[in-house]
Amino acid sequence: MNQGGVATTNGGSGSGSVGVQIHQSRRLPDFLQSVNLKYVKLGYHYLISNLLTLCFIPLIAVISIEASQMNLDDLRQLWVHLQYNLASIIICSAILVFGLTVYIMTRPRPVYLVDYSCYRAPDHLKAPYGRFMEHSKLTGDFDESSLEFQRKILERSGLGEETYVPKAMHNIPPTPSMAAAREEAEEVMFGALDILFHNTNVKPKDIGILVVNCSLFNPTPSLSAMIVNKYKLRGNIRSFNLGGMGCSAGVIAVDLAKDMLQVHRNTYAVVVSTENITQNWYFGNKKSMLIPNCLFRVGGSAVLLSNKSKDRRRAKYKLIHVVRTHRGADDKAFRCVYQEQDDAGKTGVSLSKDLMAIAGGALKTNITTLGPLVLPISEQLLFFTTLVVKKLFNAGIKPYIPDFKLAFDHFCIHAGGRAVIDELEKNLQLLPIHVEASRMTLHRFGNTSSSSIWYELAYIEAKGRMRKRNRVWQIAFGSGFKCNSAVWEALRNVKSSSNGPWEDCIDRYPVKITT
């Protein structure tokens, strides 16, 4: 009996192993085929990218052979010929020098990112799930349905237990006053600026351009005026205050600063990006307006830009492109993120159910413009060929999605929410490591609005992943509806600056996000 049992067991094992072998043998050709296709595609990209160089090789070889066969008499004849055409040479040289001078004087000035900083709130402002729900219940403003809705959103949001809400929201009942909102703005902006000035050794008086963006809090005097007053900035500073432009306003602020740096020579520009939660917390029961309560958290950034050539040596990045897309002409897009009052007269920001579809359309428009600027010619040819075949032959083939991984080494996708990151990871065919910075920023700091892309860049640096000539794509979405992109190139192997937002916790990341 035992022997029979053993024989049966062995037989079962044997058949099982044979089954595995058969299964593996069937999968092996598929695996080899995928590997072959991978290397075929890599070879294609290499060939197209270096096509011009490869074409010049035969020409260089022919010229070299001809030059090697020239004797001394040929060289003398060439020199005599040049002597008799001295006037032509002088005129051509003058035209060349004039042309080069005009080009140098009129070309766009490079914009360097010297350094940046991100604000990290004190620990007593942390809002773990339990405390958040307890405070929401104790306010008495939310019914049971709204409380349950917020609990589900928090569980699925991708936010961790260490995000921050402002001081006024920790009080019971909450105290969202104008004074409290100003206090939040000052703590965030001045906190980020203090770190920036300390790390760069730049004096506030040296700042020639100041751009501040905050969508929902726009007091008088403005936030930019608050900074001028605090740091006693010079009287002729060009200051700007951008309001109502949503979570993509950080890229808009960089674009404005870039344009100003093209006009004003030899100066610095500071871009401050933040959002104010204190006066924009929603205390009603409309579901679409409760979502921002669960996602938005305290945060802000300060960025130092320069057009000084000497700053290239110490700068972290160079600005390559800014591409902005605005879908405000479409009514649905215009209203998909909308500040309004509910039926009870309570103000909040309503998020439309069509938000992700509208964001997808804005992204498509944005990358259509950005693609030709950054993608290798091989990807552009594949995209163009697929488009022509589809148009001419009405073929039922899917549009070719360019591989942006060939253009960028790092991706900073606005941490607007888990669904936003998931959608871009899927549509752009990114790998988990490409969206790691976005997911971890959402987990650690929540949606800090326009400053989230800087927390993500700080994460990449803190992980030691930024290498010289790496390209970074910052992409953000905002009300209106807008999709904006900024492309940066690392000028060196970039390390984290001191007092960074991840300084005390980077070793704990990445963490596993539960579904």
- Residues 68-77 have pLDDT tens digits of 665 666 666 7
pTM above 0.85, yes or no: no
Residue 102 has what pLDDT? 73
Active-site option among 307, 434, 443, 483: 443
Q: Answer yes or no: is pLDDT of 396 > 70.
A: no
Catalytic residue flag (residue 280): no
Q: HEC string of 414-474?
A: CCCCHHHHHHHHHHCCCCHHHCHHHHHHHHHHCECHHHHHHHHHHHHHHCCCCCCCCEEEE
Which of 414, 434, 483, 484 is catalytic? The answer is 414
Per-residue pLDDT, 467: 97
Quote the pLDDT of residue 190. Answer: 98
Mean pLDDT of all residues in 25-50: 47
Q: Sort residue 393 into left (φ over 0), alpha (ψ -120 to 50) or beta.
A: alpha
**Which region among 34-43, 68-77, 279-288, 295-304 has the lowest average model confidence (pLDDT)?**
34-43
Q: How confident is the model at residue 378 (pLDDT cuts 50, 70, 90)?
A: confident
pLDDT for 382:
80
Q: Which of 213, 214, 241, 247 is catalytic?
A: 247
Nearest to 413 by CA among 450, 441, 453, 440: 453
Highest mean pLDDT among 32-36, 107-111, 151-155, 270-274: 270-274
Task: Please confirm, yes or no, whether 247 is among the known catalytic residues.
Answer: yes
Active-site choice (293, 307, 366, 447) = 447
pLDDT digits (tens, 9 = 90+) for 133-162: 999 999 889 999 999 999 999 999 999 999
CA-wise closest residue to 163 among 441, 454, 455: 441
Residue 388's pLDDT band (cuts 50, 70, 90):
confident
> 189, 196 in Cβ contact below 8 A?
no
CA pair distance 315, 307, nearest whole angstrom: 11
Separation between Cα atoms, residue 10 and residue 417, nearest integer Å: 53
When pLDDT is averaged across residues 183-202 and rounded to a whole number, the result is 97
What's the pLDDT tens digit per position in 227-278? 999 999 999 999 999 999 999 999 999 999 999 999 998 999 999 999 999 9
Torsion-angle region of residue 244: left (phi > 0), alpha (psi -120 to 50) or beta?
Answer: left
Asked whether 511 and 436 are in contact (CB, 8 A), the reply is no
Tokens of 223: 């936030």
pLDDT of residue 385: 80
Name which of 214, 216, 122 is nearest 170 in CA terms.
122
- Active-site entry in 410, 412, 434, 483: 410
* 11 has a pLDDT exceeding 70: no
Please, what are the domains in the chain?
56-106 (no CATH), 112-508 (3.40.47.10)
Instruction: Please give the Cα distance from 304 to 15 (Å, whole number).
Output: 67
Active site residue 410: yes
Q: How many other C-beta atoms can be found within 10 angstroms of the C-beta atom of residue 321?
A: 15
Query: Over pLDDT 70: what percentage of the chain?
Result: 81
More confident residue, 102 or 403: 403
Amino acid type, 220? T
The pLDDT of residue 32:
36
* Annotated catalytic residue within 118, 280, 326, 366: 326
Whether residue 22 is predicted with pLDDT greater than 50 in this model: the reply is no
Q: Tokens representing 147?
A: 């409380």
